[in-house]
Amino acid sequence: LLTSSGSKWRSRRKLLTPAFHFRILEDFLPAVNDQSNILVRKLGQLGKDRSCNIVPLVTLCALDIICETIMGYTINAQSNQDSEYVQAIKVLGHSFTRRLETPLYWIDAIFQLSKPGREFARKVKELHQFTLKVIRERKREILSCPELQESYEETASESDVYGLKGTARKPFLDILLREHIKDPENFTEEHVREEVDTFMFEGHDTTAMGMSWAIYLIALHEEHQDLIHQELDTIFGSDKTRPVTSEDLKQMKYMECCLKESQRLYPSVPFISRKCEEDAVICGRKVPKGTDIQVAIYNLHHDEQVFPKPDEFRPDRFFPEKCERKTCFCVRPFSAGPRNCIGQRFAMMEEKVVIANILRNYKLVALHYRDKIHVMAELVLRPTSGLHVKFIPRESAKQQ
């Protein structure tokens, strides 16, 4: 879905859109709550100074969430960082970074012969094999269970969501398998694997960095953190363990403004590419059909004409009465148009749940100001030296 174009992209987009229907997203909430609570417990096990680089921990949490919700499979990345899958993901990231940093590796043939290129190919093969194993296991479950097969009927009743019935649904993988079982020649297991891997790789890293930047900025700005704490206390009272519900998410209005401002300052994907499909004139310059265009999302989000003092963290920019005065394309952390991020509602839901569960339990303190944070633009916008935050249990914070 990310790299295809033309009729292939259109058919895949149409096929996958139902997997992110709001009713199906509600089914993901238990998994997101469970994995975020594991992260909360791990933060409680930090050493005496109660601080850490938040990026690796949040990344493992996001990986567990995406595996469970996309594939219906638990890899326990947070409790087993040495698992083959987790290590393979790390190697792929390092190899990709090496390729970006080395112009000679931009030539496919040279990269494929290099040590990073060979290691990259090995790890890609391992991940493909793992994904195919999960796909085949799920396919066997469906074919051997009459009740599951019934859920694949083409016609759905009004109580169903796109033909997926009851508690047995694992939306993303199951929608793909439904298409594969219906037409195995034109939609093969390999096609299923392509889409699952795309969402696994792209879905966990972008969301992990989005959450990490938000946690850091909230930790850095105590006045905004206090307002989020007040909002969460209004919703949950003193209960720190009740699972977050879809109704709770609707009430997290100030937190949502903080998340959107974080996405404006540090968009997970700082650049997007598009191809001009017809001749155009932009700012008096002719842009021929077929031209590749890079859209600098980071620069777009720091336009002083739209955002006065653009480097300041000001969540009030996203209050409803102020948003109405802005054009819809001035903030695009999830891209825009027909090729926008298909999982953006899922990402916002995940960020809200994870950060809400953290803030219900901890007061956050950033250990470095923003002038000490340097970023690098890979596939996602990363800090070069991590984001270090201190986590103080809220009971202790109140006594200080």
State both tokens at 309: 């003092």
The residue-averaged pLDDT of 197-208 equals 85
Binding residues for heme: 341
Give CA–CA dist 142/161, Å, rounded. 18
pLDDT in tens, 328-359: 678 888 887 777 878 888 899 999 999 999 99
Give CA–CA dist 13/2, Å, rounded. 10
Q: Is the pLDDT of residue 154 over 80?
A: no
DSSP code at position 51: E
State both tokens at 272: 């997007």
Task: Please tell me the predicted confidence (pLDDT) of residue 170.
Answer: 56
Amino acid letter, residue 272: I
Predicted confidence band of residue 163 (pLDDT cuts 50, 70, 90): very low
Binding residues: 341
Predicted confidence band of residue 397 (pLDDT cuts 50, 70, 90): low
Lowest model confidence (mean pLDDT) among 67-71, 280-284, 320-324, 377-381 = 320-324
Cβ distance 368 to 388 under 8 Å?
Answer: yes
Domains of the chain: 6-269+302-399 (1.10.630.10)
Task: Please tell me the predicted confidence (pLDDT) of residue 153.
Answer: 55
pTM attached to this predicted model: 0.87
The residue-averaged pLDDT of 228-256 equals 96
151 compared with 69, residue with greater pLDDT: 69
Amino acid letter, residue 365: V
Task: Please tell me the predicted confidence (pLDDT) of residue 158.
Answer: 38
199 compared with 37, residue with greater pLDDT: 37
The residue-averaged pLDDT of 278-296 equals 91
Task: Please tell me the predicted confidence (pLDDT) of residue 2.
Answer: 63
Exposure string (b/e) for 93-131, b if CB count within 10 Å is 16 or more? bebbebbeeeeebeeeeebeebebbebbeebbebbeebb
Rg value, the chain, Cα: 22
Task: Please tell me the predicted confidence (pLDDT) of residue 281.
Answer: 93
Closest CA to 274 of 256, 293, 257: 293
Predicted confidence band of residue 166 (pLDDT cuts 50, 70, 90): very low
Q: What is the DSSP string of 249-267?
A: HHH-HHHHHHHHHHHHHS-
The residue-averaged pLDDT of 319-327 equals 67
Amino acid letter, residue 250: K
Q: Is the pLDDT of residue 121 over 50?
A: yes
Task: Please tell me the predicted confidence (pLDDT) of residue 366.
Answer: 96
3-state helix, strand, coil in the chain (%, to 5): 60, 10, 30
Task: Please tell me the predicted confidence (pLDDT) of residue 223.
Answer: 97
Percent of the chain beyond pLDDT 70? 88
